[in-house]
Structure 1
């Protein structure tokens, strides 16, 4: 299988015919944005909001039939570095009860902050993963354009994604050519062949990119690809976004009222 195909072009997983997959991409973008903002803006004392966000994401994964393994394989690229930074907070933030772990001291306030950061990072990451698993990348760009995101941003994002696969394919071919010549870099003197291969990779990628652009122009590209089926918000799309917003607002208000007592 070629590199361009081994990098899944759409990233879609689960059941493509599910109700979640068939939602308008604008509705899914708005719902994910609402969940992320709700999680990020919520203090730890309003923990029911985190539970509500997690419940919505879990229900989405179940309906879309996106397995936990798929979510974890995609989320583990982002989550470990974030948690690695956050894990230092319990040892650095004073406040509340403290516990000694050898030369280190863990504070209750630090643990609370770590828990809040971990929950926010997990919810935001899983939300993005589920969006990518239920919406193809071109549809995400169409949804962003439909939400009036500046065209330049969607244009750059689209070209970056497409040319990433061009570079990956050329890199695969370059590595295959080096391997066929029994080249296995192990010493510092192997830098020169790698440099020449990198220069050749750049030139081949540039030429391939020009061919891709000309092919796009031949298919009607003029700053944006022509749409065969314009996006239309259906009642189910509005109901899905409205339901998520209503749930998050209700839980947040209830949590704030309970915390104020």
Structure 2
């Protein structure tokens, strides 16, 4: 079964790919922090942040269309959460209408807040997609461990990424078997019961698979330490990138006080 791995383009060679995973993770962390702290409706500042991300995408040689499509997958969930903000934010009314006994109004300030949420979310998503697209997942997890992230959390992330695709294949096989038994022609209650049984079966199979994998790992001397073929080390390019990126973030942050 074909899956869309997060680190699909991590094997390419570029300036961004060659950076240490810790450098990229810290840069993305402070970028998202700076974006989050940006004042509402500071559109010129958001534009500068976008140019900064676009420049890194260009340097990474990752297809722009791939980054764009990936980012749009998350946006509907952000819209679903933030779409009601204009209705509950006080300010000058932009549009007002009546639904039954309720007076509903949309304010200009609420629309600005909604646009700000969407802009911040999209920029943050772009940064995360760029990080995962230019870094092998094993190297990224190793970098997180070297940054003193709790080892248990790193192990959980590692297993989750490795076996989520196995679980997806399991679900697809169960769905194919269900459909081959004329599932769509049954009554609604019977369909609900069938889906419930499938969920229970998937849980049991996942648990049993986890026990087998854990037993196999212990028999091979697993001690909880993650190991990779690539040794992590800082280079001059990492220092230079941190300096340039840090100056860019600080300079852009200063613009926040001007708008």
2:85 paired with 1:89: yes
Q: Could you say which residue in structure 1 is the equivalent of 2:27?
A: 31
Range with greater deviation from structure 2 (158-167 or 194-203):
194-203
**Matched residue, 2:75:** 79
Which position in structure 2 is the counterpart of 1:123?
123
RMSD of the TM alignment (CA)? 2.7
* Runs ≥4 residues deviating over 6 A: none
Q: Could you list the runs of 5+ residues in structure 2 that have no partner in the other structure?
A: 99-103
Q: Which moved more, 1:220-229 or 1:173-182?
A: 173-182
Give the 5 Å matches for 1:215-234. 215-217=216-218, 220-234=221-235
Q: 1:179 to 1:237 in 2, by over 3 A?
A: same
- Is 2:78–2:121's contact at 8 Å kept on the other side of the alignment? yes
**Which residue of the partner structure matches residue 101 of structure 2?**
none
**What is the TM-score of this pair, normalised by structure 2?**
0.83
- CA distance 1:238–1:24, change in 2 (3 Å): same
Partners of 1:27 and 1:253 lie apart in 2 by: 23
Equivalent position SS for 2:145:
helix
Cα 1:47/1:15, change in 2 over 3 Å: farther
Tell me the CA shift for residue 9 of structure 1.
Answer: 4.3
Q: Kindly tell me: are residues 53 and 170 of structure 1, through their superposed partners in 2, closer, same or farther at Cα, counting changes over 3 Å?
A: same
Return the offset for 1:86: 2.4
Equivalent position of 1:235 in the other structure? 236
Q: CA deviation at 1:185?
A: 6.1
2: distance between equivalents of 1:130 and 1:86? Answer: 24
List alignment gaps of at least 5 residues for structure 1. Answer: none
The C-alpha deviation readout for 1:191-237, integer Å capped at 9, x for no partner, is 45545444443333333333333444455531123333321011112
Q: CA deviation at 1:173?
A: 2.8
Asked if the contact 2:41–2:115 (Cα under 8 Å) also holds between the matched residues in 1, the reply is no
CA distance in structure 2 between the aligned counterparts of 1:130 and 1:150, rounded to whole angstroms: 24
Q: Which residue of 2 aligns with 1:203?
A: 204
Which moves more between the two structures, 42-51 or 230-239?
Answer: 42-51
Alignment CA distance shift 1:234-1:189 (3 Å): same
Counterpart secondary structure, 1:100: strand
Q: Give the alignment partner of residue 64 of structure 1, picking from 60, 64, 71.
A: 60
Cα deviation, residue 26, structure 1: 0.8
TM-superposition CA deviations, 1:79-106 (whole Å, max 9, x none): 11212332332333222x4333544533
1:98 aligns with 2:99: no
Give 3-state SS (helix, strand or coil) of 1:76's partner.
helix
Q: Number of paired residues?
A: 253
Matches within 5 A, 1:119-158: 119-158=119-158
Distance 1:74 1:252, change over 3 A: same
Q: TM-score, normalised by structure 1?
A: 0.83
Deviation per CA, 1:159-218, whole angstroms, max 9, x where unpaired?
A: 222232232232233233334445446422244554544444333333333333344445
Query: Which of these residues, 28, 44, 53, is aligned with residue 49 of structure 2?
Result: 53
